[in-house]
């Protein structure tokens, strides 16, 4: 009897160790018997501002393998079905099992053998799938683009990286997520929520049904549909106009801050970055010397050139240095520091403020800067203090900092601070003549195209802006408050009328005459960004119509020389297309010239 | 008659109730183990749960029938029954179809029947009958040899059927002999033999021989009480080891550990023989006999393991000893059983919610590995209850056996208890990975008609004998 009790005691202790103390068997059991099959949600669709479908989904199929279950596997037949060679098969198997390339490898969990199966391959495999134990097909969702435009703004989705998986446990190897553009900015809205079904499978891997009749299964939640501010028709037109050129176009609706058009030229088709060829095409784009993947509107920083004169005109009025009647002389330039000269082109002299904008007079703004920095020590106490006042006014336009666009990789640009000059020249050792080039938007000032487009919107709004954004609305939700909050600049509304007058003058009879549209009264300002590497960049910013503006735009054409040649006609055509939806016969020649213009080839 | 009316009053209802509980739990467990989503009916007679239910009914009827039989009948037919069973066992070898390599099942119409199950019953009866004959003395060689033959014969025949697991059950009758006056030393030497067998498989000759030399120390005290020999013996062996290890330091390939241990064992035996002559005492030779036995066992075990045991049996033993790990092959059962039981946790996954057993991960889950289903679905709690139920059941039978007044009833009772104990011990030990896989069922739980009938007959014959415990007339 003692032996019986003794044996029983040993068994109970052993059972206790196995069942209560040691928990590892539980996990084994789960991976044994449960097949947790992920059901991917459909990703949110993307519509343009007119409700036109831009991005939709298409199903793709991945071949998954559970190595442990692959017994008596007929490799040759499998290769035949997929039309691959035995060597390819072996190579894929090796890379799956290589823990350096695939750290999550396990014999017990499904591994991706091949992704993005073609529909024919899928059909063929589906028929013979039962012959290949351990192999199953996972359906996933990929993007399908209805248009070949807007690649940069839309962005793309791609397989998650190890880093992204570490950062968010939602993702599993082989999942897709937004990797650029709004796909990544609004990933959490678009992706929805994965569902799963828990299937029971027996020792042969045969599915025996849903665990607890599916009580624990979860249906996927579809991603939210987004409407973006882009007008895809205008986007397409703008991209066509930029054919054969490098540069960028940003158009904003001033009353909302919605981005209407976002072009970085050269452009590429968003479909290139979908599916099996994604990485191949990506590498090709990356190697392109014209940098199609470089996000110019947000990241390219250029000196704003003459477009910056509008800012000067506004700040100087606000600071009481000039008013609409103030006139300065210009004799083909501005002479300073004895023998130095900052040149200007030929025009009548002296000019008042609106004329200085219309004719883009350099000397006018040198005089104004001198008046602010050198002649107002009584008001400000010192040159440095005067500069600080100017600096703060300028920064209220959104310069020198990121605007906060709903887009990755935005750059801040730069406005030199007082500290910068103090360090460079020594405190009190600099004055207007030292830094004269900032008066005309050259020198140390750098702005991105989106900031200049925003400047156009500010002028159109007479003193305020909404942070430019791509997202217009979300299905069943509101957009971030950040994009519906008015930001006021330091400039009073009354100082804008004279700038409007000047910019109107530029279009009707000044530097931007070529862009004149009969039916639309609009305001614009040309600019030339000096480029130490080659021909100057051509810049034009504008808003239209003059009263109750609907569009503010900034156009940059790299290496195009003076602003009027390329940037003005492009902006003008886009404005007309946007407001009238068509280009009249009378201006077809201009459209033709732009469309055929090839500036890259000239290089 | 007094006897006929008192049978219900004299019957040990406690055991009967435990038996009923066990077959009922067993039935539900079989149902859970072979549960199929498409056939959830508890009484579907085309499936195992339904068939088990039929066997439960048949067993109950059989139990009532046995209780109605005259007590003397069992003693009277013991020899004849034993002889018939032995004949049947031999015949089985030739007529039985090959089922997984063994020829142990007789096909009768739609039913299959394993005579080995009933052979236990016949052997128990025969042993009880022979050992209870007037003037039986186990110390008399003739009686001892016949006793050993009664146990050994069915073992040999069943081994010939390639059903080693069932044959091993007969080993347990040694425990009965022990109760009836067999020298306890045999048990100790038996245990040592098993230990040495395991040690040799795991570590080789050197460790076994060294162990034997060390065990020689208490044996010297026990048999000779010669303190000076004890010291000389100890010093000599230490010296041998010291010298040999130094030699090994100089030239390692000159002496292997096996050679050193053989030298040590040989010298010890020689020393004892010398002392036996000097002291003129044969008791010293007992220890020498132990050494010779050890050496013989080792060589024999080595030979038996490699030549007598079949490869799958060799691997089963190695898996338990941890010498080999083969999760896909031989270790598969053990591993899956461990996963199933381990995943049960404290309270289990709940009746019919087991996933491992339900999805056929555990082989033989409704027969030999039925305990897995309990482990997975009822957890530690349920397992403990089943183990305790068995402990209670076996102890109850031992208690009943002790209160018998006739040697026949007592010996038979002990046989019954020992058989149940062996099945319980081996089956659960195997399922939880403490013992090698030996395919024997868990009585009253495992699915199977012939085993349930055989165990019921075994049990109720004893309960019938027990109702006559006050009767001096029996046997």
Question: 3-class DSSP state for residue A469?
Answer: strand
Cβ contact A33–B355 (<8 Å): yes
**Residue B200 in domain:** yes
In which element (H, E) is residue A473 found? Answer: strand A471-474
Which candidate from B360, B384, B387 shows the least CB-CB separation from A203? B360
Residue B147 and residue B130 in contact, taking contact as beta carbons nearer than 8 Å? yes
Neighboring chain B residues of A15 at a CB cutoff of 8 Å: 341, 375, 380, 383-384, 387, 432
CA–CA separation, A514 and A590 (whole Å): 9
For residue B346, the distance in angstroms to the closest alpha carbon of chain A comes to 6
**Residue A2 in domain:** no
Cβ contact B361–A33 (<8 Å): yes
Neighboring chain B residues of A25 at a CB cutoff of 8 Å: 338-339, 341-343
Q: State percent of chain A over pLDDT 70.
A: 93
CATH number for A164: 3.90.1310.10
pLDDT category of residue A500 using cuts at 50, 70 and 90:
very high
Residues B346, B292 share a domain: no
pLDDT of residue A563: 59
Cβ contact A14–B391 (<8 Å): no
Q: How far is CA B4 from the centre of its chain?
A: 37
Domain count, chain B: 2
**Residue A20 in domain:** no
Residues A186, A63 share a domain: yes
Whether pLDDT at A62 is above 60: yes
Phi then psi dihedrals of residue B44, to 5 deg: -75, 105
Neighboring chain A residues of B375 at a CB cutoff of 8 Å: 15, 18-19
Cβ contact B342–A25 (<8 Å): yes
CA–CA separation, B371 and B375 (whole Å): 6
Chains A and B form CB pairs within 8 A to the count of 103
For residue B154, the distance in angstroms to the closest alpha carbon of chain A comes to 25
ipTM above 0.90, yes or no: no
- Tens of each residue's pLDDT in chain B, 475 residues: 445 557 778 888 999 999 999 999 999 988 888 776 666 777 777 778 888 899 999 999 999 999 988 888 888 899 999 999 999 999 888 887 777 667 778 877 667 778 888 899 999 999 999 988 888 888 888 888 899 899 999 998 988 887 878 888 898 888 888 888 777 777 777 778 888 877 777 777 888 888 888 888 888 888 878 888 888 888 988 898 888 888 888 877 777 888 888 888 888 888 888 888 888 887 788 888 888 888 888 778 777 777 777 777 777 777 666 666 555 555 667 777 888 888 887 887 777 776 666 666 666 777 888 888 888 888 889 999 999 999 999 999 999 998 888 889 999 999 999 999 999 999 998 888 888 778 888 999 988 888 899 999 999 999 999 888 776 544 4
In which element (H, E) is residue A159 found? Answer: strand A157-159
Cβ contact A8–B390 (<8 Å): yes
**Residue A288 in domain:** no
Q: List all residues 6 or more positions away from A83 whose beta carbon is below 8 Å from its beta carbon.
A: A121
CA–CA separation, A29 and B359 (whole Å): 11
- Element counts in chain B: helices (H) and strands (E): 18, 2
Neighboring chain B residues of A201 at a CB cutoff of 8 Å: 359
CA–CA separation, A251 and A263 (whole Å): 9
Final residue in a domain of this structure, among B278, B308, B338: B308
Q: pLDDT higher for A232 or A13? A: A232
**Neighbouring C-alpha atoms within 13 Å toward the C-beta of A128:** 15
Domain that holds residue B195: 187-308
CATH number for A502: 3.40.710.10
Cβ contact A201–B379 (<8 Å): no
Cβ contact B421–A1 (<8 Å): no
Q: ∠ at Cα A574 (A571, A578), nearest 5°?
A: 140
pLDDT of residue B363: 67
Q: List all residues 6 or more positions away from B427 whose beta carbon is below 8 Å from its beta carbon.
A: B368, B371, B440, B441, B442, B446
Residues A364, A261 share a domain: yes
* Substitution target from A9, A13, A19, A216 for chain B, most B beta carbons within 10 A: A19
Residues B208, B245 share a domain: yes
Neighboring chain A residues of B391 at a CB cutoff of 8 Å: 4-5, 8
Distances (CA, A) of A227 to A73, A149, A240, A527: 49, 16, 23, 33
Q: List all residues 6 or more positions away from A91 whose beta carbon is below 8 Å from its beta carbon.
A: none
Neighboring chain A residues of B387 at a CB cutoff of 8 Å: 8, 11-12, 15
Cβ contact B355–A14 (<8 Å): no
**Residue B295 in domain:** yes
**Residue B435 in domain:** yes
Return the closest-CA partner of residue B200 out of B331, B318, B330.
B318
* Substitution target from B343, B352, B432 for chain A, most A beta carbons within 10 A: B343
CA–CA separation, B244 and B257 (whole Å): 9
Instruction: Indicate the range of A43-52, A163-172, A463-472, B269-278 predicted with least confidence.
Output: A163-172
Residues B356, B242 share a domain: no
Give the model confidence (pLDDT) of A287-301 as tens digits: 888 888 888 999 989
- How would DSSP label each residue in A242-282? TTT--EEEEEE-TTT-BEEEEEEESP--GGGGSGGGHHHHH
Residues B287, B430 share a domain: no
* Substitution target from B172, B178, B342 for chain A, most A beta carbons within 10 A: B342
Residues B260, B158 share a domain: no
Cβ contact B432–A18 (<8 Å): yes
CA–CA separation, A233 and A471 (whole Å): 17
pLDDT of residue A311: 93
pLDDT of residue B93: 86
Pairing of strands A226-228, A46-47: parallel
Final residue in a domain of this structure, among A176, A205, A228: A228
**Residue A18 in domain:** no
Residues B448, B374 share a domain: yes
**Residue B361 in domain:** yes
Q: At A83, list the tokens.
A: 């039309």
Which candidate from A20, A33, A208 shows the least CB-CB separation from B37? A208
Final residue in a domain of this structure, among B261, B280, B308: B308
Return the closest-CA partner of residue A472 out of A58, A54, A145.
A54
| Mean pLDDT of the region A90-116 | 76
Average pLDDT value over all residues in chain A: 85
Q: Closest residue of B to A22, CA-based?
A: B342
Residues A188, A257 share a domain: no
Final residue in a domain of this structure, among A228, A250, A283: A228
Pairing of strands A464-465, A487-488: antiparallel
Residues A558, A515 share a domain: yes
Cβ contact A3–B421 (<8 Å): yes
Residues B64, B195 share a domain: no
pLDDT of residue A48: 92
Question: 3-class DSSP state for residue A137?
Answer: strand
A525: left (phi over 0), alpha (psi -120 to 50) or beta: beta
Residues A316, A238 share a domain: yes
For residue A14, the distance in angstroms to the closest alpha carbon of chain B comes to 8
pLDDT of residue A163: 84
| Mean pLDDT of the region A496-504 | 92
**Chain A residues in contact with chain B using a Cβ-Cβ cutoff of 8 Å:** 1, 3-5, 7-8, 10-12, 14-16, 18-20, 22, 24-26, 28-30, 32-34, 200-204, 208-209, 211
Give the model confidence (pLDDT) of A233-275 as tens digits: 999 999 999 988 889 999 999 999 999 999 998 888 888 888 7
Q: List all residues 6 or more positions away from A295 whose beta carbon is below 8 Å from its beta carbon.
A: A152, A264, A407, A409
CA–CA separation, B258 and B238 (whole Å): 16
Cβ contact B343–A209 (<8 Å): no
Residues A248, A213 share a domain: no
**Residue B318 in domain:** no
Phi then psi dihedrals of residue A365, to 5 deg: -80, -25
CA–CA separation, A510 and A518 (whole Å): 16
pLDDT of residue A556: 92
Residues B279, B331 share a domain: no
Residues A392, A477 share a domain: yes
Q: At A138, list the tokens.
A: 């996972």
Residues A186, A84 share a domain: yes
Domain that holds residue A173: 31-228
Residues A71, A127 share a domain: yes
pLDDT of residue B4: 53
Residues A219, A354 share a domain: no
Torsion sign (Cα): B312, B318, B322, B324: negative
Residues B243, B178 share a domain: no
Q: Is the pTM of this model over 0.80?
A: no
Cβ contact B394–A14 (<8 Å): no
Mutual orientation of helices B407-431 and B115-131 as an angle, nearest 10°? Answer: 140
Beta strands, E only, B358-411: none
Domain count, chain A: 2
B422-435 as b/e: b if 16+ CB within 10 A:
bbbbbbbbbbbbeb
Residues B205, B171 share a domain: no
Question: 3-class DSSP state for residue A195?
Answer: strand
CA–CA separation, B65 and A233 (whole Å): 96
Residues B128, B6 share a domain: yes
Residues B396, B275 share a domain: no
Give the model confidence (pLDDT) of A357-380 as tens digits: 988 888 899 999 988 888 877 788
**Residue A131 in domain:** yes
Cβ contact A200–B387 (<8 Å): no
CA–CA separation, B70 and B81 (whole Å): 16
**Residue A6 in domain:** no
Q: Closest residue of B to A8, CA-based?
A: B387
**Residue A552 in domain:** yes
Neighboring chain B residues of A29 at a CB cutoff of 8 Å: 339-340, 342-343, 355-356, 376
């Amino acid at each position: 009897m003692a032996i019986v009790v003794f044996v029983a005691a040993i068994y109970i202790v052993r059972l206790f160790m196995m069942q209560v103390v040691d928990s590892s068997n539980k996990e084994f059991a789960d991976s044994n018997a449960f097949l947790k099959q992920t059901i991917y949600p459909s990703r949110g669709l993307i519509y343009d501002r007119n409700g036109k479908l831009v991005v939709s989904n298409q199903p793709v199929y991945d071949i998954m393998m559970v190595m442990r279950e692959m017994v008596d596997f007929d490799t040759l037949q499998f290769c035949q079905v997929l039309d691959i060679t035995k060597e390819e098969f072996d190579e894929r198997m090796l890379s799956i099992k290589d823990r350096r390339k695939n750290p999550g490898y396990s014999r017990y969990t499904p591994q991706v053998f091949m992704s993005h199966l073609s529909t024919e391959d899928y059909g063929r495999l589906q028929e013979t799938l039962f012959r290949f134990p351990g192999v199953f097909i996972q359906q996933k969702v990929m993007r399908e683009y209805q248009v070949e435009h807007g690649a940069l703004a839309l962005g793309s989705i791609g397989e998650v990286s190890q880093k992204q998986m570490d950062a968010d446990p939602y993702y599993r190897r082989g999942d897709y997520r937004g990797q650029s553009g709004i796909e990544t900015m609004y990933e959490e809205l678009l992706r929805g929520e994965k569902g799963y079904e828990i299937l029971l499978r027996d020792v042969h891997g045969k599915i025996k049904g849903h665990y607890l009749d599916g009580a624990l299964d979860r249906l996927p939640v579809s991603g939210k549909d987004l409407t973006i501010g882009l007008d895809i028709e205008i986007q397409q037109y703008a991209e066509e106009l930029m054919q054969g050129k490098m540069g960028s176009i940003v158009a904003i609706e001033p009353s909302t801050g919605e981005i209407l058009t976002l072009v970085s030229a050269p452009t590429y088709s968003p479909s290139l970055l979908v599916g099996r060829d994604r990485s191949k095409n990506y590498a090709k784009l990356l190697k392109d010397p014209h940098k199609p993947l470089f996000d110019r509107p947000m990241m390219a920083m250029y000196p704003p050139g003459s477009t910056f004169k509008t800012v000067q005109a506004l700040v100087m009025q606000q600071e009481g240095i000039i008013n609409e009647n103030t006139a300065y002389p210009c004799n083909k330039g501005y002479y300073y520091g004895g023998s130095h000269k900052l040149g200007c082109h030929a025009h009548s002299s002296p000019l008042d403020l609106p004329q200085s904008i219309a004719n883009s007079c350099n000397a006018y703004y040198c005089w104004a800067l001198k008046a602010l920095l050198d002649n107002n020590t009584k008001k400000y106490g010192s040159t440095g203090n005067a500069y600080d006042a100017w600096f703060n006014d300028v920064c209220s336009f959104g310069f020198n900092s990121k605007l906060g666009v709903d887009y990755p990789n935005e750059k801040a640009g730069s406005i030199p601070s007082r500290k910068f000059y103090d360090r460079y020249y020594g405190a009190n050792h600099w004055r207007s003549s030292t830094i004269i080039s900032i008066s005309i938007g050259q020198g140390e000032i750098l702005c991105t195209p989106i900031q200049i487009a925003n400047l156009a919107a500010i002028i159109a709004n007479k003193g305020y802006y909404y942070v430019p954004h791509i997202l217009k609305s979300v299905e069943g939700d509101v957009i971030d408050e950040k994009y519906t909050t008015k930001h006021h600049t330091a400039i009073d509304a009354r100082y804008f009328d004279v700038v409007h007058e000047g910019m109107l003058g530029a279009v009707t009879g000044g530097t931007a005459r070529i862009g004149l549209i009969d039916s639309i009264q609009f305001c614009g300002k040309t600019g030339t960004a000096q480029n130490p590497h080659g021909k100057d960049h051509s810049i034009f910013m504008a808003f239209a119509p003059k009263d109750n503006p609907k569009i503010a735009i900034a156009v940059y054409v790299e290496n195009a020389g003076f602003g009027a040649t390329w940037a003005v006609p492009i902006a003008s055509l886009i404005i007309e297309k946007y407001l009238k939806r068509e280009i009249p016969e009378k201006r077809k020649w201009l459209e033709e010239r732009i469309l055929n213009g090839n500036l890259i080839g000239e290089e | 008659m007094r006897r006929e009316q008192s049978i219900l009053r004299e019957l040990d209802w406690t055991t009967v109730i435990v038996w009923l509980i066990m077959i009922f739990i067993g039935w539900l467990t079989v149902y859970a183990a072979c549960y199929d989503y498409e056939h959830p009916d508890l009484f579907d007679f085309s499936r195992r749960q339904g068939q088990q239910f039929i066997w439960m009914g048949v067993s109950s009827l059989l139990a009532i029938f046995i209780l109605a039989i005259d007590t003397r009948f069992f003693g009277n037919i013991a020899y004849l029954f034993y002889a018939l069973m032995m004949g049947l066992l031999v015949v089985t070898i030739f007529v039985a179809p090959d089922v997984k390599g063994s020829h142990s099942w007789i096909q009768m119409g739609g039913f299959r029947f394993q005579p080995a199950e009933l052979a236990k019953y016949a052997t128990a009866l025969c042993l009880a009958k022979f050992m209870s004959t007037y003037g039986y003395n186990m110390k008399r060689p003739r009686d001892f040899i016949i006793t050993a033959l009664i146990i050994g014969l069915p073992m040999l025949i069943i081994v010939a059927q390639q059903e080693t697991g069932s044959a091993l059950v007969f080993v347990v009758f040694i425990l009965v002999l022990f109760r009836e006056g067999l020298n306890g030393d045999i048990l100790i030497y038996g245990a040592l033999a098993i230990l040495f067998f395991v040690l040799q498989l795991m570590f080789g000759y050197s460790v076994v021989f060294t162990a034997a030399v060390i065990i020689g120390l208490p044996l010297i005290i026990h048999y000779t009480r010669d303190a000076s020999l004890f010291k000389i013996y100890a010093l000599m062996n230490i010296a041998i080891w010291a010298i040999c290890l130094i030699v090994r330091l100089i030239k390692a390939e000159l002496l292997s550990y096996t050679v050193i241990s053989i030298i040590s064992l040989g010298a010890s035996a020689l020393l004892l023989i010398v002392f036996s002559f000097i002291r003129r005492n044969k008791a010293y030779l007992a220890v020498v006999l132990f050494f010779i036995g050890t050496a013989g066992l080792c060589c024999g075990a080595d030979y038996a393991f490699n030549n007598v045991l079949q490869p799958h049996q060799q691997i089963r033993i190695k898996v338990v000893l941890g010498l080999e790990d083969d999760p896909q092959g031989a270790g598969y059962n053990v591993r899956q059983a461990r996963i199933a039981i381990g995943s049960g946790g404290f309270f289990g996954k709940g009746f019919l919610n087991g996933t491992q057993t339900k999805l056929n991960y555990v082989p033989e889950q409704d027969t030999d590995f039925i305990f897995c289903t309990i482990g997975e679905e009822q957890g530690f709690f349920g397992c403990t209850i089943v183990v305790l139920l068995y402990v209670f059941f076996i102890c109850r039978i031992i208690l009943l056996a002790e209160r018998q007044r006739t040697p026949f009833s007592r010996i038979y009772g002990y046989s019954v208890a020992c058989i149940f104990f062996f099945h319980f011990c081996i089956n659960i030990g195997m399922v939880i990975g403490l013992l090698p896989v030996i395919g024997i069922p868990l009585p009253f739980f495992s699915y199977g008609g012939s085993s349930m009938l055989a165990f019921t007959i075994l049990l109720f014959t004893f309960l019938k004998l027990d109702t006559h415990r006050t009767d001096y007339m029996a046997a």
